[in-house]
Amino acid sequence: MDRYLVISSDGHAGPHAADYRPYVDPEYREAFDVALPIQIAATEAAAKSFLVHDINIEWRKGRDYELSGAWDAEARDKVLDADGVAAEVLFPDGVTEMNAPPFGAGFSMSPEGITADLQWAGCNAHNRWLAEFVSTAPERRIGLACIPVLWDVDRAVEGARWAKENGLRGVILPPRWGSHPGYHQSRYDPFWEACESLDLPIHFHSGPAPIEEYFGAMPPPDLDQIPPGAMGIYVTEVAMWLVRPLTFMLWGGVFERFPKLRVAITEGTAVWVPEYLQLLEHRYAETHYAQKLGDYRSHLSMSPADYFRRNVRVGASCMPRREAEMRHQIGVSNIMWGTDYPHPEGSWPITGEQMHTTFDGLPEDEIGAMLGGNAATFYGVDVEKLAPIVARIGPEKRSFQKSA
């Protein structure tokens, strides 16, 4: 094969907020109708304080059709083809396309300000829509079910089974647990067991953070009321909030009890990985500093860093050159490149160009692993089925060779 199999580990899809209605359980449709205008108003307000309206409008100009790929299968495949992407992982969407799932469902699944039943209703609506969307091209679309595991673990196990039976290939969990038990606690074991046996990798997606602390109020105030620096703090801390669930799982011995369970940490950059692994190694190995804390390691047969290397992958969206240069410290086999389409911070519509900036001149097998090989293994992708697509739209390997 003279072209790379490219799998984006980070795509977003969902219908416009109003179009979730038929996917909502009938008993929650009344609530949906009440909540919809509130949700739309809140999204518009967020777009004003959180997003720069002008830049978004500017960026979107002339791209309506391509952006409709957020919910339109044909438009989406055209974008994937142009990007050289054979298959992709699908998270819910959010503010930019006005297509967040109802009732605060999505990849955040805030553990506060909502009831369990409503959050489940929202997640179920999205999962149903996504199962349909995936079925339009199952070989290209790796759909992830939203599972608000914090509320009820048995129900989460059922949700995972439903996802598997309906063609979804992984689950998304809330990265913040509020006052619910953390992910190190044995309470979640039945869910880990289900995901391991159903072969459903677990995902945490970047975004959630204590923005009420940054903005000084919730909902976020108008732009001119936001304390200076709030956004700088957010972009500095957001990856840290994403890594927390992993820290809890690694030390909690989750991968000791469920050695085949897999986790992807998506769109939180990958630059934090080398220092994080060193820290885990150090805290596991050293005994002087922590001797006063007692035995906190004997439930683990290896270092948390070793579980990371074996069980965890990093969804490296819009991966910069620096991360490619750090690939051996991060772990070449732990990196899964992604585009973040259709978000404005993503690589689309200049994905091809960015790929070259990131990977030009690196060894072919390593580029292949990061661009798609690792994801193919992680998701058990049928590479044979994708071969005709790769042959048609995959980036040519020789184009990444350094010119002499």
301 touches a copy of itself by CB under 8 A: no
164, amino acid identity: K
E strands within 228-383?
263-266, 312-317, 335-338
- What is the Rg, in whole angstroms, of the alpha carbon atoms belonging to the chain? 21
Determine contact, residues 72/82, Cβ cutoff 8 Å: no
CA atoms of 281 and 289, how far apart (whole Å): 14
Number of residues that bind a copy of itself (CB under 8 A): 59
Instruction: Report which of 202, 182, 322, 194 is spatially closest to residue 253, judged by C-alpha positions.
Output: 182
Please select the residue that binds a copy of itself; options are 115, 135, 185, 301, rule is CB under 8 A.
185
Determine phi and psi for 374, rounding to 5 degrees. Answer: -65, -40
For the bound state, the minimum distance from the C-beta of residue 194 to a copy of itself, rounded and expressed in Å, comes to 20
Please select the residue that binds a copy of itself; options are 38, 57, 235, 404, rule is CB under 8 A.
235
CA atoms of 135 and 137, how far apart (whole Å): 5
Please select the residue that binds a copy of itself; options are 22, 37, 219, 232, rule is CB under 8 A.
232
Please select the residue that binds a copy of itself; options are 27, 224, 345, 384, rule is CB under 8 A.
345
CA atoms of 269 and 233, how far apart (whole Å): 16
The residue among 78 and 283 lying less far from a copy of itself, judged by its C-beta, is 283
Please select the residue that binds a copy of itself; options are 26, 64, 113, 292, rule is CB under 8 A.
292
55 touches a copy of itself by CB under 8 A: yes
End-to-end CA distance of the chain, in Å? Answer: 23
The window from 74-82, 167-175, 284-292, 306-314 that contacts a copy of itself (CB under 8 A) reads 284-292
For the bound state, the minimum distance from the C-beta of residue 305 to a copy of itself, rounded and expressed in Å, comes to 11
The residue among 37 and 227 lying less far from a copy of itself, judged by its C-beta, is 227
The residue among 126 and 343 lying less far from a copy of itself, judged by its C-beta, is 343
Written as six digits, the tokens of 211 are 């923005």
Please select the residue that binds a copy of itself; options are 189, 272, 329, 333, rule is CB under 8 A.
272
The window from 67-75, 119-127, 143-151, 247-255 that contacts a copy of itself (CB under 8 A) reads 247-255
In sequence order, the β-bridge partners of residue 265 are 204, 314
Total residues belonging to the chain: 404
193-222 mask for a copy of itself (x: CB under 8 A)?
--------------------xx-x------
182 touches a copy of itself by CB under 8 A: yes
Please select the residue that binds a copy of itself; options are 22, 37, 219, 229, rule is CB under 8 A.
229
142: three-class secondary structure by DSSP:
strand
Chain CA centroid to CA 310, Å: 19
Determine contact, residues 106/94, Cβ cutoff 8 Å: yes
Distances (CA, A) of 128 to 47, 77, 289: 27, 20, 51
CA atoms of 3 and 80, how far apart (whole Å): 15
Please select the residue that binds a copy of itself; options are 184, 310, 321, 397, rule is CB under 8 A.
184
- For 52, which DSSP code? -
For the bound state, the minimum distance from the C-beta of residue 104 to a copy of itself, rounded and expressed in Å, comes to 21
Chain CA centroid to CA 224, Å: 31
388 touches a copy of itself by CB under 8 A: no
Q: Residues in the site for a copy of itself, rule: CB under 8 A?
A: 50-52, 55-56, 96, 177, 181-182, 184-186, 213-214, 216, 223, 227-237, 240, 244, 247-248, 250-253, 271-272, 275, 278-280, 283-284, 288-297, 299, 304, 318, 343-345
